[in-house]
Amino acid sequence: MGVVKADGYGHGAVEAAQTLLAAGAFGLAVASVEEALFLREGGIRGFLLVMGYTPRETVADMIRQRISVALLDEDHGRELAEEARPWVEKGAPPLPVHLKVDTGMSRLGVLPQGAKGAVSLLGDSPYLHWEGTFTHLARADERDPGPTHEQLERFQQFLHGLRLKGLHPGMVHAANTGAALQFPGARLDAVRVGIGLYGYLPSPHLENPGLRPVMAVKSRLVQVKRLPPGTPVSYGGTYRTQEEEWVGVVPLGYAEGIPRLLSNRGHFLWQGQEVPIRGRVCMNLTILSLPREGKRGDEVVLLGQQGDEVLDAWDWARWADTISYEILTGFGGRLPRYHVGKREDGR
């Protein structure tokens, strides 16, 4: 189950979905109703699951578009059933739902010990189709396997209780990228792989099975100048030149996804070497220190390879005190995206 939430982790949701389905994914998962409808509008068909909250006023769209949704608790289930009722009574199929079980994330979902009402509703309602049951593993990318084994044990106990009552949980899924790589027992009926499909490990300490980053981010210098010693650079003058220094200006800033925390900390690639960011990252501009004179139009690589040097989202994450997920999903719609390797049919 290819996860394409957050605009395909910043890569373009429709294009990522097309690629994943063409490569053999049986279906897709997103975080919100809006993301699901965006994919349908983009021509994406087949199995599609909304893993987050589905408001009652969107149920009609979910039924019309044949989108599966997560059921979070008994009250949520009753809301979904009430909204699905008139459509089903007119001949539409029941709304397909996946029961979300909170086994240790303490986020969305019903607690195993408090699931009786939701389970009874699913077993009885003619307006809901119990298509699947799932949980989310909070620590599957960590070195200590204990917490993940505990969550899986809670989940299996919950599933066993359902089966003892003659109830079928449908499609059972738990594994994210970290669990799919490290916990074979978590793979169950399906795996929900997200960050791994885009070439990144969820934590840099995991053994890499050959993943390569999908995204490269490139720009060009729009101005180059030589500054005299003692010149303050960018807002607040947080950097001053110590001697004569060449600087180049890149027409991208925090509005395009370059974290402001990369100010005076991060690097880009220019002419096959790392060059540091000088001064504060601006809304739409970033200033680099160049070891020698450059020229307008010189290629700058933010993420990707230039010569023998490589920068990836984990490099940026270390400089910005965050994770690769935030870096990748931070590249907003202002940046044009070029999807290479498409076939003639658009895939």
Which residues are part of the catalytic machinery?
5, 235
CA distances from 159 to 38, 81, 100, 113, 339 (A): 33, 23, 12, 12, 41
29 to 7, 276, 331: CA distances (angstroms): 12, 38, 20
CA nearest neighbour of 30 among 4, 69, 65, 53: 4
User: Is the separation of the CB atoms in 95 and 129 below 8 Å?
Assistant: yes
DSSP SS3 for 276: strand
184: buried, middle or exposed (CB in 10 Å: 19+, 13-18, 0-12)? exposed
**Alpha-carbon distance values, 217 to 3, 238, 269, 281, 310 (Å):** 22, 26, 11, 16, 12
Query: Angle at the Cα of 81 (from 75 to 83), degrees rounded to 5?
Result: 105
188: left (phi > 0), else alpha (psi -120 to 50), else beta?
Answer: left
- Report helix angle 74-89 to 116-124, nearest 10: 10
Using DSSP's 3-state secondary structure scheme, residue 129 falls into strand
Q: How far is CA 87 from CA 36, 47, 81, 122, in A?
A: 20, 20, 10, 17
Look up residue 130 and give its two tokens: 């119990």
